[in-house]
Amino acid sequence: MKKIIPFAFLFLLYSCFETPERKCADFKTGTFKFELEIDGVKKSTTFVRTENQEIDFFEGKSDTSSIRWINDCEYVIQKINPKNQAEKKAVSIKILSTSKDSYTFEFNVVGNAEKQIGTVVKLK
């Protein structure tokens, strides 16, 4: 009986925490919008994602990246035609939670431990 009480307590404690919803497969393809702040100015980018490519539209220019899915919620993107050394580096993206039309994700340059968080809205 003494062994059951700690287990029951841990079960009750664990069941009180709600895990975030992650329907990542709903966001593998489509048209999306991401807003970010650069030097105090709010900017937005729109991108179209297929299973293996992402085309980004930012300030009147487009750029294409390849996508390698690790699982339904994690992928790595890398620019196909990088213009400098910084653009040659791949970016790792992990979807943390999803809602009906958006997802929250963390991302970092592969090899860099510093991660950032963002939210993307699905347009189509």
Segment 62-109, tens digit of pLDDT = 999 999 999 999 999 999 988 888 888 999 999 999 999 999 999 999
* pLDDT given for residue 112 in this prediction: 85
Q: Which domains does the chain have, with CATH numbers?
A: 21-122 (2.40.128.380)
Coil/strand/helix, residue 17? coil
Coil/strand/helix, residue 106? strand
Please state, rounded to an integer, the average pLDDT across all residues of the chain: 84
